[in-house]
Amino acid sequence: MRPSRRAVVAALAALAAVCSPAAAALAVSAEGVASVPVAAAASGSAAAPLVAPLAPLARYESLLALQASGARLDLAAVARPGIAFPVDGRLAIFQGSGRYEALRAGESADLFVPDGTALPAAAIAVERGVPGVLVRAANLLSSRGAQGSNPIVVEAAVAGRTFTRALVPRKDVDAPMSDALRDIEKLLARLRADPAAWDGARALVDSDGFGALSARERRDALRALADRGAR
């Protein structure tokens, strides 16, 4: 079961409560702290995957300045792992749900989690000791511009922490703030309320292939079915 938004908001409130001004200053001063690449999986038996390396902090900051000026940025080649925290025994994405929505079954989310977080067995730790100031800069960047990020969430998440960059299988991650997953719940309720439409949709929804699609693909398929039933 995915953690509720209430659980996520409560966790964020707890984060903010323990972040003293001194801790926040520590996060900002972490610019000079070097992170440590990890050459093995959490189990120590598998080689680290090939992923785009994190850019230097100065690169992220220059992109943030362009974003603030209103420039439209192509961030396809820029590493921007999301931020996740353990909630109710699972990893929940606090920032970066849009990137999660593009994942299909068998693919992994590229995430920052606080150093020391227990990772799922199939997750692979790529780099440890990433300073919070770099995590902050990477997550304030958005392909949708400044409105695509949530500075309040990002600031609360990074203050006083260093992070591990990890690849985590989609099945082991929740995205309680995902717009696409929320749309899917509404569309399923709409289809179930119309017996004729639900009869036509059930076979698709119950199929393994449907579950393997990304959240965006599932949402679009359900929207097409719901719109067809409304005609």
Measured CA angle at 29 (ends 23, 30), to 5 deg: 90
Do the beta carbons of residue 165 and residue 126 sit within 8 Å?
A: yes
**Least-confidence region, from 19-33, 64-78, 103-117:** 19-33
Per-residue pLDDT of 195-212, as tens digits, reads 888 987 888 898 889 999
**Beta pairing partners, 166:** 111, 125
Q: What is the pLDDT of residue 48?
A: 45
Strands laid side by side in the 162-169 sheet: 36-37, 124-131, 162-169, 108-114, 82-87, 90-95, 173-174
Q: What is the pLDDT of residue 153?
A: 87
Element of type H or E holding 224: helix 215-230
Q: What is the pLDDT of residue 126?
A: 94
SS3 (DSSP) at 142: coil
Looking at the predicted structure, is the pLDDT value of residue 130 above 60? Answer: yes
Do the beta carbons of residue 92 and residue 12 sit within 8 Å?
A: no
Q: Who wins on pLDDT, 47 or 172?
A: 172
Looking at the predicted structure, is the pLDDT value of residue 181 above 60? Answer: yes
Evaluate if pTM is beyond 0.85. no
Instruction: Tell how far CA 184 is from the center of its chain.
Output: 18
For range 132-137, the mean pLDDT: 96
Do the beta carbons of residue 30 and residue 132 sit within 8 Å?
A: yes
Looking at the predicted structure, is the pLDDT value of residue 41 above 60? Answer: no
